[in-house]
Amino acid sequence: MAKRARLIYNPTSGREEMRKRLPEVLQRLERGGYETSTHATIGEGDAMLAASQAVDRGFDLIIAAGGDGTLYEVVNGMGEKPNRPPVGILPLGTTNDFARALNIPRDWEDAVDLIVRGYTRPIDVGKVNQKYFINIAGGGSMTELTYEVPSKLKTMIGQLAYYVKGLEMLPRLRPIHMHLKSDEMEMNEEVMLFLITNSNSVGGFEKLAVDASLNDGLFDVIVLKKCNLPEFIKIATMALKGEHTNDPNVVYFQTRKLEISSPDYVQINLDGELGGTLPAVFTNLQSHIEIIVDESGLSTYKHQRRLGS
Ligand SMILES: Nc1ncnc2c1ncn2[C@@H]1O[C@H](COP(=O)(O)OP(=O)(O)OP(=O)(O)O)[C@@H](O)[C@H]1O
């Protein structure tokens, strides 16, 4: 019997490729043994509802087609459910940090073929208050950047928009008093920002969390202490090469759980989307969702399996 997949796609994502490719994507999935029904999202929050319903309706596979925003919503729609089907990713958005971390091809045909081959890997998911994230959570200066980049601009010039906007933001950097507490450490001081990552691929910085593993049950936490603009630029440049953790202004550690509070109003960024404000408790839910991955690197992963085997 054919397996049933639910394809949740954002028709406006990236260069709107899904609008053109849908019949071919469905045909390719069908040939690969998936009877697929679709849900085109209509706006914010819709992919989350669609994913929640797809779990309730017992689909064998959920495919998130779009950018990081769509995947974030799908993960949020599934996070609370006791039975979670595996997730395939079609990275058709402007930013696909998480798909890149998993080595999922940008080419839609290759990405569909990868889904059909069906090698899955359990991936850690972060929970913060009542929300979930799969790639990164952050707060402080700079992390408000992602919602400020207009969507149109991102579609037109892609990743570059972040850097242009990032440079524009530099003069607005300001330290914020925060209290961070985990079993491993406690900090109570002014910081520029905190980043809590699951993968090592964030906004073009592919060596940000050098020890990050996707299913070790641990977050990699980076805290940038109060520093001035030239120091900040130096650290950002070092971060591109993965050398930032040597800087005395950078605190880097791993933990399963972290509490953060601040007397200031601090927004939390979850996978590039606005995810509430501090105070917050970040908890790592180990191996919470199975994601279809590229099998070429599988020998280095633990607990992989092939769908249907
Ligand atoms: N039909 C729609 N029209 C407008 N926005 C939508 C629609 N469907 C979903 N969205 C919103 O688009 C957001 C971003 O989508 P996604 O990350 O998939 O693509 P993207 O190309 O990276 O997008 P963006 O450039 O907006 O970041 C989603 O979080 C969702 O809120």
pLDDT digit string, tens, across residues 271-280: 888 889 999 9
Q: What is the pLDDT of residues 242-277, one digit of tens each?
A: 787 888 899 999 999 999 999 999 989 888 888 899
Give the C-alpha separation, 27 to 275, whole Å.
36
- Per residue in 162-171, pLDDT (tens digit) is 555 555 666 6
Identify the domain boundary among 94, 117, 140. 117
Ligand 1 in contact with 96 (CB < 6 A)?
A: no
Counted domains in the chain:
2
In the residue annotation, 30 being an active-site residue is answered as no
On average, the pLDDT of the chain sits at 85
3-state secondary structure 38-65: EEECCCCCHHHHHHHHHHHCCCCEEEEE
Q: For residue 49, how many C-alpha atoms fall within 13 Å in the half-sphere facing its CB?
A: 8
CB of 156 within 6 A of ligand 1: the answer is: no
Task: Assess whether 31 and 91 both reside in one domain.
Answer: yes
CA-CA distance, 301 to 292, in Å (whole number)?
Answer: 13
Question: Does ligand 1 have an atom closer than 6 angstroms to the CB of 228?
Answer: no
* Domain range enclosing 8: 3-117
Residue 128 pLDDT: 96
Q: Looking at residue 97, which CATH number applies to its domain?
A: 3.40.50.10330
Question: Which residue has a Cα nearest atom 10 of ligand 1?
Answer: 43
Same domain? 140 vs 250 = yes
- State if residue 275 touches ligand 1 by the CB under 6 angstroms criterion: no
Would you say the pTM of this structure is higher than 0.80?
yes
For residue 100, the CA-to-ligand 1 centroid distance in Å is: 18
